């Protein structure tokens, strides 16, 4: 049976796959006093499902888990699909949230891309907005939510206190491995983020699918868009090269389009299809290995 017609729900405690983003609160760099107050209190307002999601994520994302998932997925033997087919495949993933007010996965992607386009950014960045969450098809390969979304963080070294819900790391077996709990852990200082194993999820997966076709700035946006401890909190500089630091500026530039384009008008997917299919064809071959 063609499983692109089967609607599936992501397995895990989140009612909406993007709910984990509510744990961030407003940007800590905002200078508005009320926003700062809200930021301090955000944890008391987070839904129980989000807290449970982070408990599972922090408990199970070990170095061994990340390496195992990389062995499984980076061989890219799951499927052969075009970018457009992957968008349609992702759209079969349906959350428990209200379909009248919440956007489908394709709508989120197009809304993000349209906001980037409206601000006059280059075509590669519009395309980045369009595809940045396609790695969420991991849910359709039956990965649980905690192995697909959520803030990412380095494994194999000490956890930053600025990762959301850092107290949940006591349940992670790696927190009891002395070698993994020094500041650099298994890495050397300024080794470069490319050498660092981040918790596994949709960002890293998509990066490997598309890495031969997009400029470095775009690839940084895709690979690190959930790495909030670095791009929002400024942590883990001791593992970065100068070029990583420069690339994170691009990730920061991308982030508002991902977070705050939600809630704008619903994009007219039909009317935008030709524009986006042309844009995809400009950068990608007809078929990709997933």
> CB under 5 A: which stretch of 19-27, 46-54, 118-126, 250-258 binds Fe ion?
250-258
Minimum CB–partner distance for residue 257 and Fe ion (Å):
9
- Cβ proximity to Fe ion, 95 vs 133, nearer residue: 133
Minimum CB–partner distance for residue 258 and Fe ion (Å):
4
- Cβ proximity to Fe ion, 133 vs 244, nearer residue: 133
**Span 99-158, contacts to Fe ion by CB under 5 A:** 133
- Cβ proximity to Fe ion, 66 vs 112, nearer residue: 112
Minimum CB–partner distance for residue 285 and Fe ion (Å):
24
Q: Rounded distance, CA 210 to CA 8, Å? A: 25
- Cβ proximity to Fe ion, 221 vs 288, nearer residue: 221
- Cβ proximity to Fe ion, 143 vs 258, nearer residue: 258
**Span 55-94, contacts to Fe ion by CB under 5 A:** none
- Cβ proximity to Fe ion, 233 vs 258, nearer residue: 258
Q: Rounded distance, CA 109 to CA 99, Å? A: 16
Q: Rounded distance, CA 236 to CA 215, Å? A: 24
Indicate whether 258 belongs to the interface with Fe ion (CB under 5 A). yes
Minimum CB–partner distance for residue 94 and Fe ion (Å):
16
Minimum CB–partner distance for residue 170 and Fe ion (Å):
27
Query: How many residues lie near Fe ion (CB under 5 A)?
Result: 2
Minimum CB–partner distance for residue 283 and Fe ion (Å):
19
> CB under 5 A: which stretch of 58-66, 114-122, 258-266, 276-284 binds Fe ion?
258-266
Interacting residue ranges for Fe ion, rule: CB under 5 A = 133, 258
């Amino acid at each position: 049976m063609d499983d692109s017609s089967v609607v599936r729900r992501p397995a895990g405690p989140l009612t909406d796959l993007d709910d984990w983003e509510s744990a961030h609160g407003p940007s800590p760099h905002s200078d508005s006093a009320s926003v700062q107050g809200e930021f301090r209190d955000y944890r008391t307002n987070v839904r129980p499902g989000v807290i449970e999601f982070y408990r599972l994520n922090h408990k199970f994302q070990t170095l061994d888990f990340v390496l195992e998932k990389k062995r499984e997925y980076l061989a890219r033997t799951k499927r052969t699909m075009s970018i457009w087919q992957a968008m349609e495949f992702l759209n079969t993933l349906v959350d428990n949230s209200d379909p009248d007010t919440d956007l489908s996965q394709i709508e989120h992607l197009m809304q993000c891309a349209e906001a980037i386009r409206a601000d006059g950014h280059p075509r590669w960045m519009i395309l980045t907005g369009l595809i940045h969450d396609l790695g969420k098809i991991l849910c359709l390969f039956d990965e649980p939510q905690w192995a697909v979304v959520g803030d990412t963080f380095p494994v194999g070294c000490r956890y930053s206190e600025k990762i959301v819900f850092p107290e949940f790391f006591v349940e992670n077996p790696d927190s009891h491995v002395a070698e993994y709990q020094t500041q650099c852990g298994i890495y050397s200082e300024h080794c470069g983020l490319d050498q660092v194993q981040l918790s596994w999820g949709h960002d890293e997966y998509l990066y490997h699918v598309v890495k031969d076709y997009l400029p470095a700035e775009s690839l940084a946006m895709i690979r690190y868009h959930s790495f909030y401890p670095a791009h929002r909190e400024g942590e883990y500089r001791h593992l970065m090269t100068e070029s990583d630091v420069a690339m994170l500026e691009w990730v920061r530039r991308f982030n508002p389009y991902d977070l705050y384009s939600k809630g704008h008008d619903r994009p007219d997917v039909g009317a935008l299809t030709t524009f986006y299919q042309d844009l995809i064809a400009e950068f990608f071959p007809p078929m990709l290995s997933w």
